[in-house]
Homo-oligomer: A and B are copies of this chain.
Amino acid sequence: MADLAKRFSNNPIITPADIKPSQEGLIVECVLNPGAFKYQNKTGLLMRVAENAPSTDTTISVPLLDESAEGGMKILKIDRKDPQLKATDPRVVNYKGDDLLTTVSHLRLAWSEDGKHFTVDDKPFMMGQGKYEAYGIEDCRTSQIGNEYHLTFTAVSGNGVAVGHAITNDWQTVYRKGLILPPHNKDVAIFEEKVNDQYVALHRPSSPGIGGNYIWIATSPDTIHWGNHHCIAQSRPGMWDSERVGGGCAPIRTDKGWLEIYHGADNKGRYCLGALLLDLNEPWKVLARSDQPIMEPTAPEEKAGFYSQCIFTNGHTVDGDTVTVYYGAADTVICGARLSIREILATLDV
């Protein structure tokens, strides 16, 4: 079992204590799963900040986006004895027949000169907005295409878990492009260059009944409308990615193919990272895939937290042979690690 990652000595690099809540009365429970990018010689992280409101012995608090107000959140307080409340999962409660999240996430920026030490913005960069984001926005990828950054994020609401898209070129003004994929879908990353004059993206639909949590690929003329869907990676019974797989951020172009670092979870819910190698011209063709993880939860902050035994990445930066992976550890804090692209490719026997 090879773990190719050289973890930062200052891990975790960002923790909930570093984050100012988005409004009074809220608690930052977790900071995790950042998109990563370069902008004006700085490294930027677009992090997911998950907030909650204090619960008590007698009430459970559920934060909800306040659609009637100017952004911000309202707190629904539910009596723990209410017969219409079902609360068994730490992440989701059911109230009056509706599934509600116990935390609501927004996206927050952090900046660094050296890629290791970050300063977190005081305010959110993007909050959930409107009927498709009432339960928040999560796990944003930040693909750079020319001067534009294409943000793709999970939009959660009672309508389902769908994929939102927005564009910025200055990290000040954001142009929202609506939902580019309907429920149930997440883990969307747009490739940072066109292939055969089409945009390409990885996505991860989930199915009730037949089908599973598999990685798919699609193409688009404009990043707004998507078609030509192909399944490129199923979960693999008996292996480290037996239960679910999902793409990370945009793949890295190498001589051998598009190198994608993805996550897989086994039947114990343990999340590791592995690699997929996709054909440069026909990226729906898989050339190689990791038999073993290239990185797995071994550090204390990866082994225990809000969701233990979990490494999840949706952001990295690349400098020559070095890919610096930013990742959520145990869904609670953000860490960094460096891997060699050459070493990853070597494990794929290509």
Contacts and interface: CB of A to CB of B under 8 A. Distances in A.
B184 A207 contact: yes
Question: How many copies, total?
Answer: 2
Interface string A190-203: 00000000000001
Interface stretch (A25-33, A173-181, A318-326): A173-181
B183 A211 contact: yes
Given A159-B234, A234-B159, A227 B184 contact: no
Contacts of A230: 179
Nearest to A156: B210
Nearest to A208: B208
Contact of A229 (B97, B158, B178, B231): B178
Contacts of A207: 160-161, 183-184, 206, 208
A231 B161 contact: no
A182 B185 contact: yes
A6 interface: no
A208 B184 contact: yes
Contacts of A5: none
B225 A161 contact: no
Interface in A90-123: 92, 97, 99, 101
Interface of A: 92, 97, 99, 101, 131-132, 135, 156-162, 177-185, 203, 205-212, 214, 216, 218-222, 224-231, 234, 237
